[in-house]
Structure 1
Amino acid sequence: MKDCGQPDSSRYRDFFGRHVFPDDAEDIKSHRWFKNVPWDRLQTIAPPFIPHVHSAEDTHYFDESDVIEDWSKSSPSGVLLTPEDVRQVLHDFEPRVQSQAIKLIESPFDSTKLRKMDRQIEESQELRLEEKEMLKHFVRLYGQKDRKRPRDILLRDQGIKDGVMDIRKKTAFVGYTWRRMRPGGYTATRIID
């Protein structure tokens, strides 16, 4: 009814000049999910977590959105490097840098572990800037990536995963409907002659 009626007061306007109905969200606020939310002093309460962002491009609180694929246990080039191979590839660098590289690629990593390694490399006081950049690149080039697999056990089974996904896509919104409001609104009564 509020949406169909004409607002009679100019007091309730938002920043853009649109009409705002007073107490319009009371039904949402009174829902049991929000029963412990102190709505009257919400703007003065300190948040439980404040992110420490260094720049507008800082996304270290988010998981990387890698394409889900079935990675092999080997490196992208298909070659697993031994410690001797690492020393040979990095012959221009000092032994301490070579040892660091060996430690970094000795165990498989996922996107979370990779970000942790990047932070560890950045925070290292004994490495120079070019050594840090080289190690980050080296890990991505020769490191072993963990196999990504779905969390859902049904999607892990190669025999049924396609059928399961097809059923889930077809039934995802069963029971949900959307209907356009009638021109007179839902509370308008019909006059019978």
Structure 2
Amino acid sequence: GILTDKEVRLSSRQYRHTERGLGRRLSAASQTASPLARHVYANGAEEIKSHQFFRGIPWSQMHLMQPPFVPRVRENQSITKYFEDEKDIETDDSSSFLSIKERLESEGEVAEERARALLGAHYDRWVGERIAREKRELGIEDCSDGELQRIKEHFGADYEAWKADRIIQVCEERGAEPLTSKPKKEKKRPRDRLLRDPLVGKKVMEIRKKGAFFGYTYRRPKPITLGQDGSRSRQGSRRPTILPVQGDES
């Protein structure tokens, strides 16, 4: 194509002129050592910029212009908010809450002051979700937050031991496995909408794999050999075409 094939790709006329000259005058070994073979010309993308596909783009002023879209990222907010699932980007603050919440859950027990400092305005939401989950584990979803607090005060220091026994009891009644202290992390869906599509997701992935490195060719570098005068050159090992003449052993 016009971007990948060396013979016809868009770049700069200076490169093609240099390559033709080097091809006529220099051997493969001397091309590697020649400074022209490694030179980078200014305006090397002139043909790409002048292509009709990019017509009207002010290349010389682009670095001074306001981009058409500027991500709105607040303090302590991850830029990945724009790659979350649709249900997680309904508001500007949702991805920030999810990322901080995931970090706090990975730390286990977190001091209240640290959680409040990290979550800011999301602290009350985080506390509410933790209380709701705790009530589900204890099988008292219909109880109020105040009743849960009175249970904690009743058992005092023995609350955690009672909670562990209660969770096992509730799970046995429900016929479910007891919850571990650290819940298994749910597998996230791909952020790319095309890859999430059940109809074309696999096909898109296969196409991207095939074209991921299109136009790139790896060539193993030839070993460097030292001449008698100290010069260096890259030449591959050659098989002899004429057998050496063996002298008489007389």
Common topology (TM > 0.5):
no
Max radius of gyration: which structure?
Answer: 2
TM-score by length of 2: 0.29
Higher relative contact order (CA 8 A, sep 6+): 1
